[in-house]
Structures are given as C-alpha cells and as structure tokens.
Chain A
Amino acid sequence: MTDNNTTLLDKAAEKAVRATPVPLVYRVRGLSDRSIAWLFILPTIVLLLAINIFPLIWAVYLSFTNFRANRPNAEIEGVGFSNYQRVLTDPDIWQAMQTTAHFVFWTILLQMLIGFALAYLIDRKFRGHAFWTTVILIPMMLSPAVVGNFWRFLYQPQIGLFNYVYAFFTGVEPSSFQMLGSVTLSPWAIIIVDTWMWTPYVMLICLAGLRSIPDYIYEAAEVDRASAWRQFWSITVPMALPFIMLAVLFRAIENFKMFDMVVLLTGGGPGSTTEVASITLKREAFESWRTGRASAFAIILFVAVFGLANIYVKALNRVKQR
C-alpha cells in the first residue's frame, strides 16, 4: 500500500517536472543565493518605496509648488523657496514650534524620571511584582481616543475627579480652576496625560536595561564595600544608559508628532496655547488648503527630527562602545 502511494507521488512529481516550461526550470535552478535573497526582499522594498519613499519625494516636490489639494485640476506652478520662506518667517508657526518644544522637553523629562524610578522598583522583585507590572502597563495599551475622552471627564471642573483630588490635598474649591480651559494650566494638562500614558513604555525599556546588568558586578561591588548610592551611580546608571537613551529617542520622535491627544483634549486651545506643530500643519493642509506650504512645513519638521536622530544614534553608539 505504502509502495503504491510512493509510486503515485513519484509519478505526480515527474508529471509536474515535465509540465514545467524548460526555460523557467533552468532560470530557477541557475539563481544564486544572492538573487534568491533579492527575490524574497523585493516585495518589501517595493512596498517601502511605494508607501514611504514616494510620498516623501512627492512632498518635497509639492513644497516647491502652489498646489492646493482642494483644487486638483488647477494648474500647478513652481514657486521656488517661497513656501519655505513663508513658513520660516511666520510668527504663528514659530510659536507652534516653541509649544512643541515645551511639550517634548517636559514630557520626556517626567517620563524618564518616573519611568526609571518605577523600573528600579519593579526590578527589586517584591511579592506580586508581576501583577503590578501588568497594572502599570495598562495605560500604554489603551487607545489614545479612549485616553483623551477619559481624561476630559477627569478634568471636568464640576464633576471631574482630578479637581476633587487636587482640592482634597490643597483645600482650594474644586470648581475654582479649569485644567483644559486655562491658558496656564492647559499645556500641563496635556503633559500630565501624555506622561500617564507613556511612562509605562519608558519603564519597560528601562526595566530591560536593568535586567541586563549581571548580578556578579553588584556582588563584586559589595565585596569592595561600595555603598548602594555608589553602586547606583557607578553601575546601574552607566549600564542602563543605552536603554535610557533609546527610550528618549523613541519618545522624542513620537512626541514631536504629538497630535491625537492634543486634538482630543484641547483642540489646540484655549486660543492657540496648546497648538503644537502637527496641529498647525493639519490646519495649513486641510483647513487653509495650502498643501504646498504644509508640505514645506512637514519637510522642515522631518529635517529637524532626522538631524536629531542622526546625532543621537552617534551618541548612542559611543555610549555602547564604552
């Protein structure tokens, strides 16, 4: 029975070989390993070119034209560097850049401090640390849309929990301040939400760094009678530094593009207090329909983040080599 099956299979295979056009057989057999590797990665490269590189080149092209996306049939004229000149001399866009820098600086500082502290605590492996790790990670798993709406309720001056908790500790009237409606408090309201949501992510990266430090280094330090403070600054921080730097890089790139949370919480207001660069960009592109100028603005942001990432990766490599 088994022999019979084998013969049948052999016959089918022979049939398939005969049915295959000869040139194709030779072509496939004659391919080198390198060519086969190229054959496999070609679909990915094509996809990457189509959805990443082509739009980038197209945006560069549009940034030198007067194209408006709401007038697709209008004649496109080249305007040289005029779009760049306008973006770089517009005080409102300059203001948006400063707002973005303010957000990026404070969110990263707070996320790093709290994230590293949490990772340091979780690394102690106390009872139930796995449970608490999962609990801490929950905000990161939520959708920004959910987080935005959820915090809008928390910040409500009449019924919001945030105002009541603050009032409980300080004694002020809960409805005496508005986190989202005040010019001074609204930027901080967004910073608090972003920190709440993304600190777990930083914690996770820092935890990976702390777990990668071998125990024998601490044991050797103990033998040398190094204090806990000394061990922290001479072993823990330097050895976890590449991971901390990676976390800063990821969060900085992400926060320069911060959009969803700001739109959901304040929509850029009150006035333009919380109008970050990505919101100004969206308004230029889809409210004023100045697609060319918006493309120029996007390219400026891209160059800034790309340049920063370059020097950051260089610094990271130096730290790793140490």
Chain B
Amino acid sequence: MTNETTPPAKPKRPFFLRRGPMENIATALIAVGFLMLFQPFALVLYTYSLVTLLAGTVMFIIVSKFPE
C-alpha cells in the first residue's frame, strides 16, 4: 500500500497582487485610454484620455513585475 500524500495547496495571493487579472485590467485601461484619445465623438472623453492611459501604463509596468 502506497502512502500517497498530496502537496499542500499554496495559499492564493490576494486579487490585487495576482499578475494575470491585474495585467488584464491594465491592458483594458490602456486600450480604453487610447480609444478616448483618438475618438471623434466627445471632447470630454479626449480630456480624460491621458489620465486613463497613464493609469493603465503605470499599472502595467508595476504588475508586469509580479511573479506568475
């Protein structure tokens, strides 16, 4: 009879420290910011495009350093 033991499951990192979902959020922010910057529909979207883009880019740079 073999004594099989399963390795203890690693504790899950909090959502805000997980690379995958955070990278996706950052990517979405960059994409939205980019569209806001070049869209022809509303000046107000253009005005807030830089903030969105900057938030996404900074977030992307930070979260891409998180371990997989």
Chain A interface residues toward B at CB < 8 A? 84, 88-89, 91, 94, 97-98, 100-101, 300, 303-304, 306-308, 310-311, 314
Contacts and interface: CB of A to CB of B under 8 A. Distances in A.
Interface in B51-68: 53-54, 56-57, 60-61
A303 B54 contact: yes
B53 A89 contact: no
A310 B46 contact: no
B43 A300 contact: no
Contact of B30 (A88, A97, A100, A308): A308
B43 A304 contact: no
Contacts of A94: 43, 46
Interface in B35-60: 37-40, 43, 46-50, 53-54, 56-57, 60
B47 A303 contact: no
B43 A311 contact: no
Contact of A303 (B38, B40, B46, B57): B57
A303 B48 CA distance: 13
Contacts of A98: 38-40
Nearest to A89: B47
Interface of B: 23, 27, 30-31, 33-34, 37-40, 43, 46-50, 53-54, 56-57, 60-61
Contacts of A84: 50
- Contact residues of B: prevailing secondary structure: helix
A300 B34 CA distance: 11
A303 B27 contact: no
Given A94-B43, A310-B30, A311-B30, 20 more contacts: A88-B48, A88-B50, A89-B43, A89-B47, A91-B43, A94-B46, A100-B38, A300-B50, A303-B57, A304-B33, A306-B57, A307-B30, A307-B33, A307-B53, A307-B56, A307-B57, A307-B60, A311-B31, A311-B60, A314-B23
A162 B60 CA distance: 47
B38 A97 contact: yes
Contacts of A304: 33-34, 37, 53
A97 B37 contact: yes
Contacts of B61: 310
A88 B33 CA distance: 13
Contacts of B49: 88
Contacts of B57: 303, 306-307, 310
A313 B21 CA distance: 17
